[in-house]
């Protein structure tokens, strides 16, 4: 069967490996036929050749792991050792081994869920990041009537803007150095700021500080401190972006004097939040179609990742389809 692996920085190679079969399954797992995958910002360090924190990245020349680093996957169940899945089901969720870029994928059955059959597989990809965002929103204080700032208006930041507005936020400010003006308003952003986060903070009036600031950039240290500086006294900062460093220095003076709360975390209870993402998408018709801006076939994985690795105003979600 076909499979991709990173063989050098910025370079994928398609290889042929032994077929995965029902015999490869442990209790609770399912075997999927690949239908689609999403390119996520957390995949980018591995593509660039940087040793990351994802399972399977051993830090040698590329990850040297079949299917790595893709985890957003849509597939058809071929075989199942999970009580809630059976052959023929179409599901979306996590490739639990971060090895979703192959013809057949073995994954934890608790990390995938059925999706609305009216969605095509490329659109269904968006349910996985949406589930992550909705879980994070659950960890925040009530957003009704609040001002929410979202640092980063990429594929995750735009979903946070949409979800915050749906959760009752009175005003959503989206911050990104890339011009997202036309796209942002379609995802519930009231004020789109084209600026780096440090410039935004330096020009932010005290009265305009958001009650909640969500950092969705990741992969760097500075933006978390910018989010902390931007938050109104008594507010909450949520760090969603993937950390590439074990330790992040933050201004405890600001945290203390402004009585701030800092939260973070990965999505848990994944089957439930995938179901919730399905319901949210049904309540917001057209959201996933707007979210998906670029689709590549499995013969052009390289092109998909190259597009994902550079800022493009009109790009939101990139899907790879069989």
pLDDT tens digits, residue range 60-102? 444 578 999 999 999 999 999 999 999 999 999 999 999 999 9
Architecture (CATH level 2) of domain 140-264: 3-Layer(aba) Sandwich (3.40)
Taking residues 247-253, what's their average pLDDT? 93
Q: Is the pLDDT of residue 279 over 60?
A: yes
pLDDT the model gives residue 133? 98
Q: Render the burial of 261-295: b for 16+ CB within 10 Å, e for the rest.
A: eeeeeebeebbebbbbbbebbeebeebbebbbbbb
Q: Is 106 within 8 Å of 20 (Cβ atoms)?
A: yes
Residues of the chain with CATH 3.90.180.10: 2-128+269-321
**What six digits make up the tokens of 45?**
């360090």
User: What percentage of residues in the chain have a pLDDT greater than 90?
Assistant: 89
| pLDDT tens by residue, 258-268 | 999 999 999 99
Confidence grade of residue 180 (pLDDT, cut at 50, 70, 90): very high
**What is the separation, in whole angstroms, between the first and last Cα of the chain?**
13
- Looking at residue 243, its pLDDT comes to 84
Three-class secondary structure of residue 288 per DSSP:
helix
Burial class (CB in 10 A: 0-12, 13-18, 19+), 299: exposed
User: Of 41, 20, 16, 67, which Cα lies nearest the Cα of 218?
Assistant: 41
- Which CATH superfamily is 2-128+269-321 part of? Medium-chain alcohol dehydrogenases, catalytic domain (3.90.180.10)
Q: How confident is the model at residue 183 (pLDDT cuts 50, 70, 90)?
A: very high
Domain with CATH 3.40.50.720 in the chain: 140-264
**Is 315:41 a contact under the CB 8 Å cutoff?**
no
Q: Answer yes or no: is pLDDT of 241 > 90.
A: no
Averaged confidence pLDDT in the chain: 94
- Tell me the average pLDDT across 168-195: 96
Which pLDDT band holds residue 203 (cuts at 50, 70, 90)?
A: very high
- Write out pLDDT tens, residues 113-150: 999 999 999 999 999 999 999 999 999 999 999 999 99
Q: What contacts 29, CB < 8 A, 6 or more positions away?
A: 80, 81, 82, 106, 107, 108, 109
pLDDT value of residue 61: 44
User: What is the model's pLDDT at position 57?
Assistant: 57
């Amino acid at each position: 069967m076909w499979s991709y692996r990173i063989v050098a920085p910025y370079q994928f190679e398609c290889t042929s490996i032994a077929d995965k079969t029902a015999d490869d399954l442990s209790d609770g797992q399912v075997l999927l036929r690949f239908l689609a995958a999403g390119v996520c910002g957390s995949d980018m360090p591995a593509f660039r050749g940087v040793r990351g924190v994802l399972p399977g990245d051993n830090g040698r020349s590329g990850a040297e792991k079949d299917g790595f680093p893709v985890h957003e996957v849509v597939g058809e169940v071929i075989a199942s050792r999970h009580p809630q899945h059976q052959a023929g089901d179409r599901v979306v969720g996590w490739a639990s081994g971060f090895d979703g870029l192959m013809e057949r994928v073995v994954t934890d059955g608790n990390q995938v869920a059925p999706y609305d059959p009216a969605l095509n597989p490329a659109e269904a990809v968006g349910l996985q990041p949406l589930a992550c965002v909705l879980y994070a929103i659950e960890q925040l204080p009530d957003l009704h009537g609040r001002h929410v700032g979202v640092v980063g208006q990429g594929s995750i930041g735009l979903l946070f803007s949409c979800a915050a507005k749906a959760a009752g936020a009175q005003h959503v400010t989206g911050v990104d150095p890339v011009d997202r003006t036309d796209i942002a308003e379609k995802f519930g952003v009231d004020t789109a700021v084209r600026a780096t986060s440090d410039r935004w903070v330096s020009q932010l009036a005290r009265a305009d500080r958001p009650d909640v600031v969500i950092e969705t950039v990741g992969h760097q240290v500075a933006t978390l401190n910018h989010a902390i500086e931007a938050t109104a006294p008594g507010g909450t900062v949520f760090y969603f972006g993937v950390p590439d460093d074990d330790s992040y220095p933050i201004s405890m003076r600001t945290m203390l004097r402004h009585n701030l709360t800092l939260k973070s975390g990965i999505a848990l209870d994944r089957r439930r939040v995938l179901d919730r993402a399905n319901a949210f998408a049904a309540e917001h018709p057209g959201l996933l179609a707007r979210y998906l801006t670029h689709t590549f076939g499995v013969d052009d994985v390289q092109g998909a990742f190259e597009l994902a690795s550079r800022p493009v105003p009109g790009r939101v979600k990139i899907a790879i389809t069989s």
